[in-house]
Structure 1
Amino acid sequence: MASRVYGKFFRISQWIVRKIYPAYNVLIHEQIKDPVVYVSHHQNLFNPFIIYLWFPKDLRTWILHVFLDRKACFRQYVDYTFTKRMGMNRTIAKICAYPLSFFIAHLLKSGKGIPVYRGSKKIFNTFRLTVEALKRGESVVIYPTVDYTDTSNETKDMHEGYLFIEKYYFRETAQHVRFVPLYVSKNKRLIISGEPVTFHDDEDFSIGQKRIGEHMRNQLHELAKKCGDLE
């Protein structure tokens, strides 16, 4: 079972931030054994930040590919994040994005992020890298929230394309992927998981995809209620 995945730069950065950021406890269901695919709400970067920072094991995170390439990361910040989302002047955006793009790309590559290519045939590379990681015993975490800018505790619409991991993994191993809901509670300062769920033997993929997709949303909702984050 793989335990150490992250590179030195990521580990140093993680150690520094842990010194100044409030700690989160972690409760993982007793049935969970690596490798698994954790599924979590994005919550406008909050959940990826907390899970990267405080999860006790190294995880391979699905990350939009532009943030793993310095030049593409710079363009993303200048053309969208700083200008369109934050309303920043383009010249100021370039000044801010230049050093930040070096840091973010280096950090996430050191964190062994798996690049996600939206709307491209390169998405097959995402699945290939994910299956290779799972076969090495490395667990993966995915944030498939449709509106990733939503900051609420409620998990709403989620993309279900990530569940195609099952097809590729089963083809190579004849085993089912274990998908696990993973919730982050600001209220409790807690990272908590639900039970693992898998596709059934001989289950039609589209039926299983819908079943597990709904299960993930429902379980994340229940975990939020359990933590007192929802009425």
Structure 2
Amino acid sequence: MKSPVFCVIRKIVSMVAPVFKAEGVENLPDGPSIVVGNHSQAFGPLAAELYFPRKHYTWCISEMMERDKVADYAYKDFWSKKPLLLRPFFRLFSYIIPPLSELIFTNADTIPVYRDRRVMKTFQLSCEKLDDNASVVIFPEDYTEYNNIVHEFQRGFVHVAKYYYRQTGKSVPFVPMYVCPELKKIIFGKPVMYDPEAKTDVEAERICTYIQESISEIAYGLPRHRVVPYPNVSKKYYPFNERK
């Protein structure tokens, strides 16, 4: 049962936030899938929550669900790269949002991502959602630039497919997703299947490279637009989707 306060907030956000159109939906399998997209700052998770066309659950860093950890995590991850003069304001703001953050992210369709000994809980919850024929949506970028479209992916999320195969004997497809706020679109590319016979590290590298390249190709094929990068930098530094 979702909190009534959360439902009101979600309704308000849906009225004021950009409306994203989903394209390439035919590339989403009818059964379980792991959908991997560019974070596009807050736009990726927002678009997934409001406009993902199938039953889904989005990975969310656990610190955003734990009131005592929100402030430090939010400032470091969202606002630490803001202009120097604005950082004190955002630091203050980070101390205001913990109750709201906890409310939103524990009520949204999310899976907590733990980076400690509880990490197996993240994998188990993900496998349970996949077994229920849902999509698990992941935004795995870090701060290392891959190209002008995406940043490098953290590799650990691919292990979900390994644990899912161990539990069910089934391979799960990974689906690339490009989030494009300027064109108000989320676009799905062709999936790639997890190979349980391959070595884990090799398979993680193969899948991440495929998805990074697929997202990039989707972006390059669209009309000229500014790409919203993972780091929360000034808009004047947003790159264009021009092939380099």
Please state which band the TM-score falls in when normalised by the shorter chain. 0.7 to 0.9
Residue of structure 1 in register with 2:118 after alignment:
122
CA separation of 1:46/1:205 partners in 2, compared to 1, >3 Å: closer, same or farther?
A: same
Q: What is the TM-score with the length of structure 2 in the denominator?
A: 0.79
AA aligned opposite 2:120: F
38, 55, 67: which one pairs with 1:41?
A: 38
169, 175, 178: which one pairs with 2:173?
A: 178
Instruction: Find the aligned partners of 1:125 and 1:64 in 2 and give their Cα distance.
Output: 13
Question: Does the residue aligned with 2:71 lie in a helix, a strand or coil?
Answer: helix
Contact 2:37 2:138 in 1 (8 A): yes
AA aligned opposite 1:186: P
Residue of structure 2 in register with 1:108 after alignment:
105
Question: Does the residue aligned with 1:15 lie in a helix, a strand or coil?
Answer: helix
User: Is residue 62 of structure 1 aligned with residue 81 of structure 2?
Assistant: no
CA root-mean-square deviation: 2.7
AA aligned opposite 2:176: P
CA separation of 1:222/1:74 partners in 2, compared to 1, >3 Å: closer, same or farther?
A: same
Instruction: Find the aligned partners of 1:178 and 1:6 in 2 and give their Cα distance.
Output: 30
AA aligned opposite 1:204: K
CA separation of 1:122/1:30 partners in 2, compared to 1, >3 Å: closer, same or farther?
A: same
Q: Percent identity between the aligned chains? A: 25
**Gap runs ≥5 in structure 1:** none
Instruction: Find the aligned partners of 1:7 and 1:153 in 2 and give their Cα distance.
Output: 39
Q: What is the TM-score with the length of structure 1 in the denominator?
A: 0.82
Instruction: Find the aligned partners of 1:21 and 1:127 in 2 and give their Cα distance.
Output: 31
CA separation of 1:16/1:133 partners in 2, compared to 1, >3 Å: closer, same or farther?
A: same
AA aligned opposite 1:69: E
Q: For 1:135-179, what per-residue CA distance to the aligned partner results, in whole angstroms no more than 9, with x for missing partners?
A: 12221111111128x8x9601311111100111100000001111
Post-superposition shift, 1:6?
A: 6.7
- Kindly indicate which of the two structures has a greater share of residues assigned to strand: 2
Contact 1:10 1:108 in 2 (8 A): no
Residue of structure 1 in register with 2:141 after alignment:
145
Contact 1:144 1:158 in 2 (8 A): yes
Residue of structure 2 in register with 1:14 after alignment:
10
Q: For 1:28-61, what per-residue CA distance to the aligned partner results, in whole angstroms no more than 9, with x for missing partners?
A: 3424223211101112222222222322334211
Post-superposition shift, 1:114?
A: 1.5
CA separation of 1:218/1:106 partners in 2, compared to 1, >3 Å: closer, same or farther?
A: same
| Aligned pairs, number | 221
Contact 2:38 2:140 in 1 (8 A): yes
Question: Does the residue aligned with 1:130 lie in a helix, a strand or coil?
Answer: helix
170, 180, 183: which one pairs with 1:188?
A: 183
**Gap runs ≥5 in structure 2:** 226-240
Instruction: Find the aligned partners of 2:5 and 2:136 in 1 and give their Cα distance.
Output: 20
User: Is residue 155 of structure 1 aligned with residue 150 of structure 2?
Assistant: yes
Post-superposition shift, 1:203?
A: 3.0
Question: Does the residue aligned with 1:30 lie in a helix, a strand or coil?
Answer: helix
Contact 1:153 1:224 in 2 (8 A): no
Question: Does the residue aligned with 1:168 lie in a helix, a strand or coil?
Answer: helix
Instruction: Find the aligned partners of 1:109 and 1:209 in 2 and give their Cα distance.
Output: 29
Residue of structure 1 in register with 2:209 after alignment:
214
Instruction: Find the aligned partners of 2:53 and 2:8 in 1 and give their Cα distance.
Output: 15
Instruction: Find the aligned partners of 2:140 and 2:209 in 1 and give their Cα distance.
Output: 13
Post-superposition shift, 1:85?
A: 4.3
